[in-house]
Structure formats: C-alpha cells, structure tokens
Structure 1
Amino acid sequence: MSRRPELKQRIVTRIQRHLANPLSRRLPSQTVLETTGRTSGLPRRTPVGGRRVGDSFWLVSEFGPKSQYVRNIQADPRVRVRIRGRWHSGTAHLLPDDDAVARLRSLPRLNSAAVRALGTDLLTVRVDLTG
C-alpha cells in the first residue's frame, strides 16, 4: 500500500491548519463549519466550501473520516455553519453512500476543484439547518 495519500494529507492538513484556515476563518464572506472538539469540548471552526440548498448545507470533506471536523461530527453531530456572515445551527450527517465526485459538480467550482485535486478520501456531509 502506498504511503503517498497519507503524506499528501499530512502536508495539506499542516498548510491548512497553520496558514490557510487562520486567515480565511477571519473573512466574513467565508463559510465556516463549527463543530465541538471531541476531546476538548471547545468550539472548532473550519473554513469550508459548500452550498446551501433549501434547509440543508452540503459540503465534501477531502479526507473523509480522517478529517478532524468529520471525527468531531461523529462524536457530536450538532454543528453551526456561518453562511454569508450569519450563523445557523444544524445537525450534520455523514453520507458515505453519496457520490462525492458528482456532488462536487453541484458545489462552488473553485472549492470543488481544490477538493478534487487535494483530496484522498472524499466524503459528502449534509447539515440539516434548524435556525
């Protein structure tokens, strides 16, 4: 088994965690997913790309169950999503049977291209918004 996907994930995650995410999290126009840390219990905010469709917000995780925010969702699916500067509460659902590549075609083009290029284990996430 190749270690290349693991190395790719480590490099991309390190860049995102220490450079890209801290900067983009501060942009009011950036969509942000807030989960609860499974160990710390603290809010964890991750910039994401996705799209609201009715009362749901759809996104695709580039590293699937290895993503920290996906692991947080598994522990506690209650989340918040900041869309266009406004926070919405919701419940996240991991959808491993959904065709993530097809789903990316319906999401914002630039983010979808980055997820396809950098991702190693795509996973669709749907957040049912309640407020």
Structure 2
Amino acid sequence: MSRRQDIQRKVVTTFQRTVANRVARRLPGQTLLETTGRKSGLPRTTPIGGRRVGDEFWFVSEYGTESQYVRNIQAQPRVRVRLRGRWFTGTAHLLADDDARARLATLPTANSAVVRAFGTGLTTIRVDLDARD
C-alpha cells in the first residue's frame, strides 16, 4: 500500500468510526454486520452494503484484511447480518479469488460507488446464511 493510500485509509476509517458508523447503526433500514471481537470477544457491529442472493449475503470490504471486521471474521467466521431489521446468522468467507470490482457491479449502486472510490484492498465476502433463520 502506498503512503497516499495509507493516509487515505486512515482518514476515511477515522471518519467512519467516529461519525458515519455511529449514525448508520441507528438507522432502521441499514444493513449491519455483527462480528465477534478477536481480542475482546465482544460483539462488534459495522454498517455495510451488499445484497442477499438466496441463502447468501454478498458484500465487498473496501480495505480487505486491513479492516477490523475482516480480521474478526478471520479469527471467528460466525457472524450475524441485519437485513431490513431482521437478524440472520451465518458463516462468512473471504473470497480472495473473486473479482471484487466486478462483484461491486452486482451490488447496490450507492454503496458500491463509495467502496470503489475509497477502497484500496477490495475483498469480496460471502456470508452463507443459516437455513433455520
């Protein structure tokens, strides 16, 4: 990652963590990802954008393994996803071989545009939702 990309990532993630995510988590229609903190063991909730396709939920992380929630997934892939106000449990999979830019074209436009504009380590993530939910 270049120095410029590193600075950009730090500025964007600081804004997301301190302002945008705090507001977005409170919005009733916002899609949320809940991971388990790899150090604390506590639930960590992150607003995300993506799309459900059958029993799968697809999204793209803008910073890949630099994202804290991705690191949490790597340590514990069991997650919850809130879609339209309802929580679903599932198992998250990082798909390094998937073309993340092509995947963004299949996901909601507004979120995809932001991820494409600011992302420096795009990584596709698929959550296999449990059948019982």
- Taking structure 2 as the reference length, the TM-score comes to 0.97
**Counterpart in 2 of 1:53?**
53
Which position in structure 2 is the counterpart of 1:12? 12
RMSD: 0.7
Aligned partner of residue 35 in structure 1, secondary structure: strand
One-letter code aligned to 1:33: L
Counterpart secondary structure, 1:112:
helix
Which amino acid is 2:118 matched to? L
Where 2:72 maps in the other structure, the secondary structure is helix
* Aligned residue in 1 for 2:86: 86
Task: State how far apart, in whole Å, the 1-side matches of 2:75 and 2:37 are.
Answer: 9
2:22 partner SS: helix
Q: Which amino acid aligns with 1:88?
A: F
Taking every aligned residue pair, what percent have the same amino acid on both sides?
A: 69
Determine the C-alpha separation between the residues in 2 that align with 1:68 and 1:59. Answer: 15
- Take 2:104 and 2:48, find their aligned partners in 1: how far apart are those partners? 13
CA distance in 2, matches of 1:109, 1:99: 17
Deviation of 1:2 after TM superposition, in Å, equals 2.9
Aligned twin of 2:37: 37
Distance in 2 separating the partners of 1:80 and 1:12: 24
- Classify the secondary structure of the residue corresponding to 2:39: coil
Q: Which ranges in structure 2 are unaligned for 5 or more consecutive residues?
A: none
Report SS of the residue matched to 1:6. Answer: helix
Letter in 2 for 1:2: S
1:32, 1:55 → 2: CA distance? 17
| Aligned counterparts of 2:114 and 2:2: Cα–Cα separation in 1 | 22
Q: Would you identify which runs of 4 or more consecutive aligned residues in structure 1 move more than 6 Å? A: none
> Which one-letter code corresponds to 1:19 in the other structure?
V
Per-residue deviation, 1:128? 0.2
Give me the whole-angstrom Cα distance separating, in 2, the residues matched to 1:70 and 1:2. 21
Using the alignment, how far apart are the partners of 2:22 and 2:104 within structure 1? 24
Name the residue aligned to 2:23.
23
* TM-score normalised by L of structure 1: 0.99
